[in-house]
Amino acid sequence: MLPTGIDQETFYQLALTFVPDVGAKTARALYEHFGTATHIFNAPLKEIKAIAGIDEKRSKGFRDDDVLRKTEAELNIVARHGINILNYRNGNYPARLAQCVDAPLIVYYRGNANLDAQKIVAIVGTRKSTDYGNRLVDELVEGLRAHEDMLIISGLAAGIDTLAHRKCVELNIPTVGVLGHGLDRMYPVANKKLAKEMMENGGLLTEFPFETVPDKGKFPMRNRVVAGLADVTIVVESAISGGALITARMASGYNRDVAAYPGRVNDSRSAGCNKLIRTNIAGMITCADDLLDMMNWGKSKSKAVQKELFINLTPEEQKIIDILQTKDQVHADELYHQTGYTSSQLAATLLQLEMQDLVKSLPGKFYRMN
């Protein structure tokens, strides 16, 4: 029996996340084949097994009554606590995260922040920050406060994450914490009060259902969500093998921007940042203005100046620029239909624009103005 107010498709979308040993990539293959979650669960097992990666054992999970009981219980809990379930197949899922091939099928969200804000910055770093790192976080967040439609995210871990969230609360900047556990608990416990304050202008987000405890394996999963939500990931302080470096590398893998503050060459808590800069994974920044310049978010970039940059474009290039200026990002298929170009003509023109550093390609065949 479906919980009150829940339609069948929503029920099965959530149920898909409870099927044992079926991850996001496999689930996407199933969606691609069957079209809806409802069709997946109603399909013959032999047809489910025919999909790449689905063996006899895993296919039986789609007939497991325990999966349905867990789904019903979770939906009832979510309704009682005012939690939103955002499914990547629906329009309420964060657009940037949806572009990532390994993004979770669903995320649980409590809050009022716009997860598709115009500018989203992730600030991450060591749990054992120094006075140097603490000062950098304060100055960075302070430097971003004047920008409208800005969202700052982090992982609500001790150290740099906590400092970033706390400074946002102090300055009334929307901030969202991405958790490595369910929304029924808080880790570290010391951040319980901070998390409550964040709910007033921001929120909490996780891919994990209620009663999921934090453990070592959950945090890299959490880190990919942080990286996938943001336009740019900033590492303030990190050891050579810190979790913040994992987030930075994931962000780079998603073709997102990465920035890092340099530290002293003999400081172990800046060794990770220095390596990111040295290996060209991250751009070096020393202040908020450096970040704003890096992201072309500075106020001095007027529309009049931008138009001057495009004076020497060919008519074909200008047509694509005109389309891209109407949205944050546009899929290649939409460009194909709007321009009327052939596939080879479109690819060649986009390549020329990328070489001129005017257009940036994103995962999933999306493009945006650079």
Per the CATH hierarchy, to which homologous superfamily does domain 1-81 belong?
5' to 3' exonuclease, C-terminal subdomain (1.10.150.20)
The answer, yes or no, to whether residue 5 has pLDDT greater than 80, is: no
The answer, yes or no, to whether residue 307 has pLDDT greater than 50, is: no
DSSP at 190: G
The answer, yes or no, to whether residue 302 has pLDDT greater than 50, is: no
Encode pLDDT of 101-126 as tens digits.
Answer: 899 999 999 999 999 999 999 999 99
Mean pLDDT of 146-168: 95
Percent of the chain with pLDDT over 70: 95
CA nearest to 153, candidates 210, 246, 222, 84: 222
Output the CA–CA distances (angstroms, integers) from residue 163 to 41, 128, 136, 151, 153, in the order listed: 44, 11, 10, 15, 11
Task: Map tokens 């009334």 to a residue.
Answer: 172
Distance of CA 237 to the CA centre of its chain: 21
Report yes or no: 3 and 74 within 8 Å, Cβ to Cβ.
Answer: no
Residues 6+ apart with CB under 8 A from 316: 339, 341, 345, 349
CATH of 303-369, one of 1.10.10.10, 3.40.120.10, 3.40.50.2300, 3.10.180.10: 1.10.10.10
- Count of CB atoms situated within 10 Å of the CB of 247: 30
Q: Which helix (H) or strand (E) holds 169?
A: helix 160-171
Fold match between 1-81 and 303-369? no
Encode pLDDT of 228-248 as tens digits.
Answer: 999 999 999 999 988 899 999
If you classify domain 111-294 with CATH, what class do you get? alpha beta
DSSP at 93: S
pLDDT of residue 188: 94
**pLDDT confidence bin for 51, thresholds 50/70/90:** confident
The answer, yes or no, to whether residue 301 has pLDDT greater than 60, is: no
Domains in the chain: boundaries: 1-81, 111-294, 303-369
**pLDDT confidence bin for 217, thresholds 50/70/90:** confident
Mean pLDDT of 3-18: 87
Report yes or no: 110 and 172 within 8 Å, Cβ to Cβ.
Answer: no
Note the pTM of the prediction, 2 decimals: 0.78
